[in-house]
Structure 1
Amino acid sequence: MSETAARPVISPQGHDELLTSLDPLLREWLPRQRWFAGKGRPVTELTLDAVTRLRPDNALLHLLLRTHQPPADEGPGDCYQLLIGTTDALPPHLAPAVIGHITRGPLAGRTAYEALHDPRQTSVLLERLRLPGTFGGLRFHREPDGRIPDDLTPRPLAAEQSNSSVVYGDALIAKVFRRVLPGTNPDLELPLALAREGCDRVPAPVAWYESADGETTLGVLQPYLKGAADGFDLALKHLVEQQDFTAEARELGRATAEVHTALARALPTVTFTRAHLEQLAAAMTARLEATAHQVPALLPHLPGLRTAFEALADLAGEGRTWQAQRVHGDLHLGQCLRDPSGFWRLIDFEGEPSRPLAERRMPHPPHRDVAGMLRSFDYAARSHRPWNPAWSDACRAAYCAGYASAAGRDPRTDPVLLRAYETDKAVYEALYEARHRPDWLPVPLAALARLAEPA
């Protein structure tokens, strides 16, 4: 096994040779990718942390590529996971996946392309996931009862966000994390814990892979929920057809509470005392101040928004405490799927990708996830014209009622904590929209105007 595993390893000298071939192409290609986090800043240097040959003759290369950009050139940079195919003759159907024609180095004369668009290449990844063990710079794992059928035809998912996904024969889906950080990714950690707790609200991991040293989660394979409807798309459909969505919102609230209850059983919980809550309020205030400097439209609402976090600090000073646990961390309608039977499931437990991994793995009161869903109902309502605030209000109320029916406590009974989390989420949304989707900025700004008003 050791001899076989050693063959895919490329020496540091080989890293330099590969970069000679790929560097000029990747500098131009990377900033155009939806998942690239360093948009708007030049790439000053590329370095390779690890390279694994998944197929002979460099036909399929797995790269952990580090980018260096100002103003923090002296820092470690961001590490990205790439699967790159190289070929002498690119089939026409892969033209959209082209990275570029290589003109220098050991790969000169070949064409480099994004391998996740090529079924031949993604079949290699699935085959590796069938075989637990180390292969080059990668380590593969499979659950004891994890079944990976033969003859599954792969296809990439068209809608890409901060990661990339490949569906295998409507049976399985592999998520390939793009910007990777040392540590266990919550999108593996939490579904594994929930599966072992017997919670069927979250698809259980079948297999996964990581760096050979075990320090960095790189991808996870889970069941594909064929025929399931995206929660946001479903909400918009109801809006367009002027249909009530409160029954679905109530069931989604119940599903959320069941997941929270299972997480609290499966993983340690803590009590947020005065020190925790004051630190939380201070962090929220700091994010608000920093965002206001980057999104000037926030400035008129700044005094009122500060009161949301001041009220939380005041409660902490009076001795108020809350139980905190692991939560989803980025819960919204698009992270929820309803299967044809009407059963809701939650997916994508990675948390907010722009935040540090250690921060995404911190415990919080469940109100953080509830606030995310309340914001999502508002997004759905404002995506439809004319805006229907009554629809959003009804869904928000139904969701909280459904949550209470399963958790035994209505999150609305903690209005100060819920307002603080909802305000913090809307601040995050304002910064995101200002950077990536300026046309959507009025949505979080309208919520922030409401949240800035006296309670």
Structure 2
Amino acid sequence: MSTTLECIAQWITRQRWYAGKGHEPRLRILSHESVPSDDPDARVSVLLVMDDEGNIPTLYQVPIVERSSVQPAQHAYLIGQNDEGDYIFDGPHDEAYPRALLALLAPDLAREVTVTRSTVLSGEQSNTSIIFEIDGTPSIICKVFRALHHGDNPDVTLQAALSAAGSTAVPRFVGEMHGEWDDVGRPNGRASGHLAFAQEFLAGAEDGWKVALRFAAEGSDFTELARSLGEQTARVHSGLASVMPTTEATDDAIAGFGVSWARRLRLAIQEVPALLDSRDDIAAVYETARTGTWPLLQRIHGDFHLGQALLVPERGWVLVDFEGEPLRPMNERDRPDVALRDVAGMLRSFDYAAGATPGNPTEWAEACREAFTAGYLAESGVDIETFRPLLDAFELDKAVYEAIYEARNRPDWLAIPLRGIEHLLAARTARLGA
């Protein structure tokens, strides 16, 4: 038997959300908070565990349930047995923790309803989502953040603000939970951030990426759905601009975008030598955008693609996962940005749907791109000719990022962003020559 921390150290390396792949964890507990439970046989608590191994220490949230015995069906989520003889279970998979969590997130709701069952959503990489059945019907989904960061999580703040304003373009917000922990790097020695939040569960919702892949494989017309997704995206941008701060694109801010584009291009050329011949043309696009007209900066989705949109029966498109790019520090994700970054992300996603489909139906992708853009422009009133250089720059930057990612992780997919870059540059040359 081992201490609870030793049990977690052996278990954590097998979890998909553990970021320290390739090294043995060096853990210490920053916080161990007991959580009230209605199960007399369970002791529920939440541990905040720092892994000091690796280049950057990472803080993890580990909810646990301790029990005096283990049933055969519980072995799949057993963390271990500690020195006291207690069996330790991963909290989200044990019914005691989800009920306790809902009572903390939405105490009034928890008193009014009966949670008949909870299940963990499979396939997630960085967080853990729990679906709550109320009186036998899946009704609420709660996201438990595993890797914690100082500062408010935009996945919570943006969706909560839109929901409070009455938007149906995001799931209805239910509740949120903050936490605090010691941090010697903060001026007051303490850090804080979101631990979890809950929102309505959208029954029958289909992942936009899977829907698009099905349409592409069948050669079916996706343009009506693409256009409505563009319209919904514009409504979300308008809603965010109305409930969150906006700011002028200052010279310093614009220079910052330019530095980011140039840095990413340099890295891409090092890792994808095939881009060397296009370097000057790409840099020219960035320079044209940098010296052109810029809109107000505002809060945006930040990591927008087909997988972040759900197609809900009798409701249409609903946007989710506003957490931003996972690799960006949390303090950068809450900065005002350019709404066209989201547009560019979705345009690239249509190219990816075609590239992932046998036969690479480029005409299908182009029709989707045009329909999405038309829907966005019609709803937003943006003058695309005024901001075309900026959209080109963001789409190129996204494709350059994709080239780096594919070269590192999926070399067989590298042709998708390389074709995208070639197409974007050719289309710009054709417009300039017109």
Q: Taking structure 2 as the reference length, what is the TM-score of the superposition? A: 0.86
Q: Which residue of 2 aligns with 1:398?
A: 371
Q: How does 1:374-453 map to 2 (within 5 A)?
A: 374-411=347-384, 413-451=386-424
- Listed one character per residue, the Cα deviations across residues 119-154 of structure 1 (whole Å, up to 9, x for unaligned) are 33322222332338xxxxxxxxx8xxx996323421
Q: Within 1, Cα distance between the matches of 2:117 and 2:275?
A: 48
Distance in 1 between residues matched to 2:163 and 2:60, nearest whole Å: 28
Query: Aligned runs of 1:241-260 on 2, under 5 Å?
Result: 241-260=218-237
CA positional deviation for 1:240 = 2.4
What letter corresponds to residue 394 of structure 1 in structure 2? A
Whether the aligned pair in 2 keeps the contact of 1:294 and 1:431 (CA below 8 Å) is yes
Residue among 314, 320, 331 paired with 2:304:
331
1:185 aligns with 2:153: yes
- CA apart distance, 1:71: 3.4
Q: What is the CA distance between 1:415 and its match in structure 2?
A: 2.2
Contact 2:294 2:387 (8 Å CA) reproduced: no
Paired with 1:370 and 1:68, the residues of 2 have a C-alpha distance of: 38
Deviation at 1:377, TM superposition (A): 0.8
Q: Which letter does structure 2 place at the counterpart of 1:209?
A: M
How many pairs does the alignment contain?
412
Give the 3 Å change call, closer, same or farther, for CA 389–380 of structure 1 in structure 2. same
1:63 — aligned with what?
47
Of stretches 370-379 and 265-274 in structure 1, the one that deviates more from structure 2 is 265-274
- For the pair 1:354 / 2:330, whether they are aligned, the reply is no
Q: CA deviation at 1:46?
A: 1.2
Which one is further off, 21-30 or 431-440?
431-440
- Deviation of the 1:263 alpha carbon: 0.9
Match of 2:3 in 1: 21
Cα distance change, pair 236–216 in 1 and its aligned pair in 2 (3 A): same
Please give the alpha-carbon distance, in whole angstroms, between the structure 1 residues aligned to 2:282 and 2:315: 38
Question: Which residue identity does 1:322 align to in structure 2?
Answer: P
Which residue identity does 1:307 align to in structure 2?
A
- Structure 1 residues 46-55 or 23-32, which shifts more? 23-32
| Matched residue, 1:211 | 179
In structure 2, how many angstroms separate the alpha carbons of the residues matched to 1:158 and 1:352? 21
Q: 1:290 to 1:23 in 2, by over 3 A?
A: farther
Question: Deviation at 1:58?
Answer: 7.5
SS in 2 for 1:207: strand
Select between 113-122 and 55-64 the one with higher mean Cα deviation.
55-64
Query: Does the alignment pair 1:112 with 2:76?
Result: no
1:309-355 deviation line (CA, Å, top 9, x unaligned): 2332343xxxx332111001011111111211152111111111211
Letter in 2 for 1:78: T
- Match of 1:325, SS state, is coil
- Closer/same/farther in 2, CA of residues 31 and 46 from structure 1, 3 Å limit: same
CA distance in 2 between partners of 1:43 and 1:295 (Å): 31
Q: Which of the numbers 195, 198, 210 marks the counterpart of 2:163?
A: 195
SS in 2 for 1:344: strand
| Moved segments of 4+, more than 6 Å | none
Q: Does 1:284 align with 2:248?
A: no
- 1:92 has 2:65 as partner: no
Matches of 1:181 and 1:157, distance apart in 2: 23
Asked whether the equivalents of residues 210 and 219 of structure 1 are also in contact (C-alpha less than 8 Å), the reply is yes
Question: 1:237 offset after TM fit, Å?
Answer: 1.6
Instruction: Tell me how far apart the structure 2 counterparts of residues 153 and 439 of structure 1 sit (CA, whole Å).
Output: 42
Question: What is the DSSP-based 3-state SS (H/G/I as helix, E as strand, rest coil) of the residue aligned with 1:396?
Answer: helix
Any stretches of 5+ residues in structure 1 without a counterpart? 1-17, 133-141
CA distance 1:110–1:270, change in 2 (3 Å)? same
Alpha-carbon distance in 2 for matches of 1:110, 1:449: 60
Helix, strand or coil: the match of 1:248?
helix
Change (3 A) 1:65 1:262: same
Retained in 1: the 8 A contact 2:4–2:81? no
**Residue 26 and residue 307 in structure 1: after superposition, are their counterparts in 2 closer, same or farther (change >3 A)?**
farther
SS at structure 2 position matched to 1:348: coil
1:64, CA displacement in angstroms?
1.2
CA RMSD of aligned residues (A): 2.7
Structure 2 residue identity aligned to 1:123:
R
Alignment map for 1:220-259 (pairs within 5 Å): 220-259=197-236
Structure 2 residue matching 1:160: 3-state secondary structure: coil
Give the superposition deviation at 1:298: 5.0
Cα distance in 2 between the residues matched to 1:399 and 1:147: 43
Shift of residue 266, structure 1, vs aligned partner: 1.0
Contact kept? 1:256, 1:403, Cα under 8 Å: yes
Shift of 1:308: 3.1
Aligned partners of 2:115 and 2:132 also within 8 Å: no
Instruction: Determine which of 145, 154, 160 is the counterpart of 2:124.
Output: 160
Unpaired runs of 5+ residues, structure 2, are 182-190, 430-434
User: Following the alignment from structure 1 to structure 2, what is the Cα–Cα distance between the partners of residues 279 and 124?
Assistant: 44
- AA paired with 2:97? Q
Question: How much has 1:85 moved relative to structure 2?
Answer: 2.7
Q: 2: distance between equivalents of 1:157 and 1:448? A: 36
Distance across 1 between alignment mates of 2:72 and 2:196:
28
TM-score (norm 1): 0.82
Judge which range, 262-271 or 118-127, deviates more.
118-127
Structure 1 window deviating more from structure 2 (156-165 vs 324-333): it is 156-165
